[in-house]
A and B are shown apart, each in its own frame.
Chain A
Amino acid sequence: MKAFFSLIARDLKLAARQGSAVALSLCFFVIVIVLFPLGVGPEMTVLARIAPGVLWVAALLACLLTLDRIFQADYEDGSLDQLVIGPLPLSFLVLAKVIAHWLTSVLPLIIIAPVLALSLNLASDGVIAVTFALLIGSPTLSLIGAVGAALTMGMRRGGVLLSLLVLPLYIPVLIFGVAAVEAAVAMLPMAPHLLLLGGMSLGALVVGPLAAGAALRLALE
């Protein structure tokens, strides 16, 4: 357990000292969302209509861009080999890495999402809903993403392949995440969608670390 938490603390410390990475993914998130009003026009009703989808798609893409950070740097400087030899079981190692990734790369997106939602003229119920839906659904993104990141680790053109592997698996999260926000805007109960998102997160919590651990062992053979 101590090794688990110290690994998370190490990754958080690393991310804090290279702060530019977090800022860059935030900038990407904001700029993707800014592109939509420019693309579809500034009409407020249209923007309010597409806001949930735009926020979720931008969050998906921003998360995708940061996935290679989970293992790549440690793989390149060799510390991943050391970690694998260490006392921590492989799936817990992955879980610690995923938690650190979620805290450093996804949580900042969720924190600024309400502001962007307001700028897209989303109703206030929707703003609360999108925050909750992102909080509950986004762990799935990191967990599934870790599998893709472990599979493509060390590849030369891993980034493009990673998006092809991971984005289809993200689609259920996108669908229910957007459905939750739209239900909240339409004054319908959003609990079922949030429960489904939570269920997917829990399922990914079981499958993700196991699969990513197997992929890591394979890549380091």
Chain B
Amino acid sequence: MAIDLHKYANPRRFLAITSAIYPWSLALTVILLAAGLYTGLFVAPPDYQQGETVRIMFVHVPAAWMGLMIYTFMAVASAVGLIWKHPVADLSAKAAAPIGACFTFLSLVTGSLWGEPMWGTWWVWDARLTSMLILLFLYLGYIALWQSFDDPSKASKAAAILALVGVINVPIIKFSVDWWNTLHQPASVATMSGPKIYSSILTPLLIMGLAYTAFFVTLLIIRVRAEILARRLRILQLSELQER
């Protein structure tokens, strides 16, 4: 396992593999996003209580999933980077953070747009909303820590420590529904007794989730490649300066 990881951690091999994956993930993103939006916005029936506003859920719920998933991904990448000192893992964690922050922000905004007609208020201090807001702050802190170091190798380690400490917060967010269980509806997809949503709503939700994941992979590939190239450029510039 460790040997395999080393093989893929080589930046050049990483670039070769990702450039092979990239067109597929891009195509998958476009197809799944189109399918998910079509089934979500046109095929799925309006809810008997929520009416048409239920369609906001197809944008909102997967964004919240992605917010959590990307933070977990960041923590795993940080742990790999810290333990095996893989530069690509560090760069992946760095590249994932702004994407995750955007998804978290999207889930907060769409949630508030949904809450206005449904709950009659833009924002409630409910456990789940609040913990998504905290997650956004965790992302922002992580990004800010990266930016406040001049030395990228130091920054990557410091940010990795922060991500690993912060990841303790992710389970708190996940289970906060069961702990506080206030105004927000309790978990209804991943419950012990299987999903509680009717399939006409669940299918577009899952398609959108997959579409977001593919979108994340596509963006991540672009960003990590840019990071690797930027680092190479920096090394070239430094060596040119030394030669002078």
> A residues touching B (Cβ–Cβ < 8 Å)?
144, 147, 151-152, 155, 157, 161, 164-165, 167-169, 171-172, 203, 207, 211, 214-215, 218-219, 221
Contact assessment for A155 and B148 in the assembled complex, using a CB-CB cutoff below 8 Å:
yes
Show 19 A/B contacts (Cβ-Cβ < 8 Å), sorted by A: A147-B162, A155-B148, A161-B141, A161-B145, A164-B140, A164-B144, A165-B145, A165-B162, A168-B137, A171-B134, A172-B169, A172-B172, A207-B168, A211-B161, A211-B165, A214-B161, A218-B154, A219-B154, A221-B154
B165 lies within 8 A of A207 (CB): yes
Instruction: From B134, B144, B154, B164, give the contact of A161 (CB < 8 A).
Output: B144
**A164 pairs with B141, CB closer than 8 A:** yes
- Say yes or no: is B63 at the interface (Cβ < 8 Å to chain A): no
State whether B158 touches A218 (Cβ < 8 A). Answer: yes
**Does B138 interact with chain A (Cβ within 8 Å)?**
yes
**B144 / chain A contacts, CB cutoff of 8 Å:** 161, 164-165
> Are B145 and A168 within 8 A (Cβ)?
no
Interface of chain B residues 79 through 105 with chain A (CB within 8 A): 82
Inter-chain CA distance A151–B82, complex, in Å, is: 15
Closest A residue, CB atoms, query B149:
A155
Distance in Å: Cβ of A159 to nearest Cβ of chain B: 12
CA distance A147 to B166 in the complex (A): 11
Cβ of B157 under 8 Å from chain A: yes
Bound complex: CA A147 to CA B158 (Å): 10
Taking CB atoms, residues of chain B closer than 8 Å to A169 are: 165-166, 169
Inter-chain CA distance A6–B164, complex, in Å, is 31
Inter-chain contact A215/B158, CB cutoff 8 Å: yes
CA distance A177 to B145 in the complex (A): 28
Q: How far in angstroms is the closest Cβ of chain A from B147?
A: 9
Contacts of A168 in B (CB 8 A): 134, 137-138, 141, 166, 169
B33 → chain A closest CB, angstroms? 31
For residue A53, give the distance in angstroms from its CB to the closest CB of chain B.
Answer: 12
Residue of B nearest to A144 (CB): B165
Not counting A152-B148, A207-B168, A211-B164, a sample of 16 additional A-B residue pairs whose C-beta atoms are within 8 angstroms of each other reads A155-B148, A161-B141, A164-B140, A164-B141, A165-B162, A167-B137, A168-B137, A168-B138, A168-B141, A168-B166, A168-B169, A169-B165, A203-B168, A211-B161, A218-B157, A219-B154
Residue of A nearest to B166 (CB): A169
Q: Of residues B140, B158, B172, which shows the largest number of chain A Cβ atoms within 10 Å of its Cβ?
A: B158
CB-defined contacts of A172 to chain B, threshold 8 Å: 169, 172
Closest to A171 in B: B134
Which 6 pairs between the two chains have the least Cβ-Cβ distance?
A168-B137, A164-B141, A165-B141, A168-B134, A218-B157, A151-B158
Give A109 Cβ to nearest chain B Cβ, in Å.
24
Cα of A102 to Cα of B165 in the assembled complex, Å: 20
Give chain B nearest CB distance to A111 CB in angstroms.
29
Q: Which residues of B lie under 8 Å from residue A157 when comparing CB positions?
A: 148
CB distance from B132 to the nearest CB of A (A): 12
A168 to B162, CA, bound (A): 12
Instruction: Write the nearest CB–CB distance from A180 to chain B, whole angstroms.
Output: 15
Most buried by A among B141, B158, B165: B165
Instruction: Determine the residue in chain B with the shortest Cβ distance to A165.
Output: B141
Contact of A151 among B130, B137, B162, B169 (CB under 8 A): B162
In the bound assembly, the distance between CA atoms of A221 and B153 in angstroms comes to 11
Task: List the A residue with the shortest CB-CB distance to B135.
Answer: A168
Chain A residues in 8 Å Cβ range of B137:
164, 167-168
Closest to B172 in A: A172
Residues of A within 8 A of B140 (CB): 164
